[in-house]
Amino acid sequence: MEERNKTLGEFIIDKQEDFKYSTGELSRLINSIRLAAKVVNYKVNQAGLVDITGAAGEQNIQGEDQQKLDVFANETFMETLINREIVCGIASEENDDFIIIKGRDECHNNKYVVLMDPLDGSSNIDVNVPVGTIFSIYRRVTPVGSPVTIEDFLQPGDAQVAAGYVIYGTSTMLVYTTGNGVHGFTLNPSIGTFYLSHPNMMFPKDGNIYSINEGNYVHFPQGVKDYLKYCQREEEDRPYTSRYIGSLVADIHRNMIKGGIYLYPTSSKAPKGKLRLLYECNPMAFIAEQAGGKASDGFGRIMEIVPTELHQRVPFFCGSYNMVAKAEEFMSAAL
């Protein structure tokens, strides 16, 4: 009989001993993310059928219009994590501040904090383009028993114990790492189960796709302009192919499978970049490095940046190792 793929639930149980601190809490935490992802997937799939597309009428802390599905995804992930009493704090791209969560015993004995972008790329929902959830998990640094503080959230990416994303695409996948490689699970929608479909995902060392919002070209720093010209030059295996969905999870997911680089640099329009260090860049950087890729702010590793604020933005260069290294060369040369 052909062996069937493991389910995500089975995989988590098997891998529990790989976790740095194996008390079962991290496994339960990933399980609850799996559950919330299924609920959000169900809703995303109904876009166009029920009244869930379009703006919710509010703006988030970044001054961006919240979509109805942004709000739904945020509430779903929050409620699932809070009800299961596993985490001691959550910070979300959609909320102004982090929230403190008490455990079952009304004490603050849980050990993990979660940072997340509940529905990234949500401006794409109305046009049926893939969107995603991105999450990042840290062990708290303040003493267990006391309420979490901002210190627990402002940790460098190198301190992450797990990170991942869900892509709501042509099929829905959950991809995550706990520091032992990157594994991808595809949802079988008829039975609501994630199956291991992409074990040990790896970025090809080289690639031929570059993904950037080229409409902003005139506003980019000189190093990025020079790198783009290099990508387009007829030489060796170039010109590269340009592919940009405008949905971070989908662009990174494709580049991890096919080989490529994603760039969201600073520009005169967005002097610090657009993407958020804690909710988008650090988790994607952890995935990228675990998959043999590279993630940089143009000059150094994303995961070494010591955050100073929750909603901090950084320039982001992420993808196949040699491509990101080449982009860094151009950035330094243009200084």
In 3D space, the residue among 32, 14, 17 whose CA is nearest the CA of residue 86 turns out to be: 32
**Contact stretch for ligand AHM (CB under 6 A) within 115-123, 164-172, 291-299, 305-313:** 115-123
Taking CB within 5 to 8 Å according to partner kind, which of ligand AHM, Mg ion, none is near residue 294?
none
Q: What is the CA radius of gyration of the chain?
A: 19
Question: In this structure, what token pair is assigned to residue 114?
Answer: 């979660």
Residues 6+ apart with CB under 8 A from 28: 84, 86
For Mg ion, the closer of residues 117 and 152 by Cβ is 117
Within the chain, residue ranges assigned H as helices are 8-15, 25-44, 68-83, 150-153, 222-232, 248-258, 282-290, 321-333
Q: Which one among 72, 77, 92, 121 touches ligand AHM, defined by CB under 6 A?
A: 121
Site size toward ligand AHM, by CB under 6 A: 11
Q: 120 a known binding residue?
A: yes
Return the ∠ at Cα 181 (arms to 247 and 301), rounded to 5°: 65
Taking CB within 5 to 8 Å according to partner kind, which of ligand AHM, Mg ion, none is near residue 255?
none
> Could you say whether residue 70 binds Mg ion (CB under 5 A)?
no
Query: Which positions from 198 to 217 touch ligand AHM by CB under 6 A, shown as an x/- string?
Result: ---------------x----
Q: Which one among 70, 120, 289, 297 touches Mg ion, defined by CB under 5 A?
A: 120
At 123, the amino acid letter reads S
For tokens 């802390």, name the residue.
Answer: 61
Binding-site residue ranges for Mg(2+): 93, 117, 119-120, 280
Catalog residues that contact Mg ion under the rule CB under 5 A.
Answer: 117, 120
Catalog residues that contact ligand AHM under the rule CB under 6 A.
Answer: 64, 117, 120-122, 213, 246-248, 251, 274
